[in-house]
Structure 1
Amino acid sequence: MFEMNMVFFALAIPAVIFAAVSKAGFGSGASFAATPILALILPPGPAIGVMLPLLMLMDMASLKPYWKKWDATQAKMLILGAVPGVALGALLYKSTNPDVFRLLIGLIAVGFVIYQMVLKSGLLRLRSGGFSNPMGGVFGMVTGFTSFVSHAGGPPATIYLLASQPSKTTYQATTVIVFWAVNVMKFVPYAFLGIFTTQTLLADLVLAPFAVAGAWLGVKAHHLVPERAFFALTYVLLTLTGSKLIWDALT
C-alpha cells in the first residue's frame, strides 16, 4: 500500500515526463530512470507496477511516428530473446524479498552510468559491424530480464543495436517496436504476481496525461535537443537514486 500524496506526485510527475521524453525521443536507453526515482518512495513492486501501464501508453503514442522505420531482423531477435528473460524475471520476483529488488534496481542504475563513463573514456569500445543473430537473442534475454526487474531493458538493447551503426531514426524506431512487444509480454506476469493493484491503477489514471505529453515532447526533442545535455542530466539522476536504493537495500 502507498499514499498518493503531494510527495508522491512531486516525484512521479517529472519522473514520468522524463521517462516519456527519453522513450519517445532518445531510444529508451535512459527511460528506466523513472523506476529508481519512484522506488525511493514506494516499495519496488508498486514502483514497477505504476510504471508499466504508463510505459505501454508511451509505446502507443510513439509507434505511429516511427512506424516501419525499424530494423525488422534486429527487432525480431531482441523480442524472441526477451521471452525467457521475462520468464526469469518473474521467477525471481516471486521468490525474493523487496530489498533484493531495491538492490538490483540500484545496481542497474549505477552500473549503467559507470558503463557509459568507461565507454566515453575510450577504455571500452562498442563492437563494430554488428553482432550475429544468435547474439541478438542473448542480448534480448538480458533485455527481457532487466526490463522485468526495473524497466531497464534499454541499456542491453542499446549495446546490441548501436554495434551495427544504424541511423538515429532507425535506432529509435527499433527500440520503440521492441519495447512495445516486451512491455506487452510483461503485463500478464505482472497481473498474476499481484504487482498491479487498485492504487497503482488509480495513480496511472492521474499520471497518464503526463505520459502522453512527455511522449509528444520526446518525438519533438528527437530532432531538436542535443543528446549530450539530456543524457548528462540522466546520469546524475541515475547515480543519485541508484546509490540511495543500494544503501537502503543493504542497511
Structure 2
Amino acid sequence: MILDLAFFAAAIPAVLLVGLSKGGLGGAFALMGVPILALVVDPLQAAAIFLPILIVMDIVALWAWRHDNDRRTLLVILPGGMLGIALGWATSAQVSPNALKFVIAVSTILFAVRYFYQVYGPRSGGEQPPQPQRPVRATFWGTLSGYASFVAHAGGPPFQIYVLPLKLDPRSYTGASVRFFAIVNAVKLIPYFALGALDAENLVTSATLFPVALVATMMGAWIIRHLRTEVFYPLTYSLALVTGLKLLWDSVV
C-alpha cells in the first residue's frame, strides 16, 4: 500500500474527476484521472490502481441508473467492445498508446466541431434529426472504444462518436453508457490480472480511495438527472471536444 501525502494529494482530485464522469458527466473528466495520478507514480501503476476504482464506480453508477437504458444501443455496440479488448490484449506490446490517442483525438475533435458547425454555423438548421442504428458502424466504433479502453483508458470518445448522433434522451444515453463501460471494465480485469498489473500493493491502494469514488460517482449522477435535454447535448459535445484536445495534447507531448 502506498502511504505518501503527495500520492493522496494527486489521487483524491483524480478520483473525484473520474467519479463525476462515471456518474454520467461525460468522458472529458475521466481522461484526467490517470495523467494526474501519473504525476506521483509510474503511468502503468496509475492505470492498474485505477481499474479496481473504476469497477467500484461502475457498481455505483449501475445502481444509480438501474432504471434507465437503451437496450438496442447497448446490444449493437457491445460486441465491438469485446472484440476491442481482445485485440488490445493481443497487440498491446506492439501498438503505441500515443499513436492510438492521436487517432482518437483527431476523430473526436472533427466529430465535435462538425456538430457545432451544423447546429450553430452560418448554414445551420438547428439540431440535426436522430441517426438510425447502424450495426457495422457500431461494431467499428465499439471495437475502437474497447481497444482504447484497454490500452489507454480512453474508450469514451469512440463510444460518443457512435451514440451521441442517435439523440437518445439523456437518461437512456447515460444508462447505456454506464452499462457498456461497466461490462468493458469487468472484462478487462482478466487480461490485467494475467499481465500481473493487479498485485496486492495496487489493490490495497485502490481500496483506500473507494470512499472518494463512491461520493464522486453519486455527485455526477445527481448533476445529470437535473440537466435538460437542450443543455445535455451541447454540454456533452463540448466535453467531447475538450476530451479530444486533451488526448491530442497527450499524444503529441
| TM-score, scaled to structure 1 | 0.81
Instruction: Give the match for residue 26 of structure 1.
Output: 25
Q: Residue 92 of structure 2 aligns to a residue in which SS?
A: helix
| Distance of 2:219 and 2:128 partners within structure 1 | 29
Paired residues of 1:13 and 1:210 also in contact (CA < 8 A)? yes
Corresponding residue to 2:249 among 221, 243, 246 = 243
Instruction: Give the match for residue 89 of structure 1.
Output: 88
Paired residues of 2:118 and 2:128 also in contact (CA < 8 A)? no
Instruction: Give the match for residue 165 of structure 1.
Output: 167
Unmatched 5+ residue regions in structure 1? none
The 1:43/1:16 distance shift into structure 2, 3 A limit, reads: same
Cα offsets for 1:64-104 (capped at 9, x unmatched): 221242111210122211112001111233446xxx43x25
The 1:4/1:212 distance shift into structure 2, 3 A limit, reads: same
| Distance of 1:142 and 1:117 partners within structure 2 | 17
Taking the TM superposition and a 5 Å limit, the aligned residue runs for 1:187-202 are 187-202=189-204
**Deviation of the 1:147 alpha carbon:** 0.7
Corresponding residue to 2:117 among 113, 122, 133 = 122
The 1:182/1:197 distance shift into structure 2, 3 A limit, reads: same
The 1:159/1:182 distance shift into structure 2, 3 A limit, reads: same
Q: Which amino acid aligns with 1:198?
A: A
Unmatched 5+ residue regions in structure 2? 120-126
Taking the TM superposition and a 5 Å limit, the aligned residue runs for 1:132-151 are 132-151=134-153
Taking the TM superposition and a 5 Å limit, the aligned residue runs for 1:2-81 are 4-28=3-27, 30-81=29-80
Q: CA RMSD in A?
A: 3.2
| Distance of 2:112 and 2:166 partners within structure 1 | 21
Identity of aligned residues (%): 26
Paired residues of 1:22 and 1:28 also in contact (CA < 8 A)? yes
Cα offsets for 1:174-194 (capped at 9, x unmatched): 001111111111010000011
The 1:181/1:89 distance shift into structure 2, 3 A limit, reads: same
Corresponding residue to 1:176 among 164, 175, 178 = 178
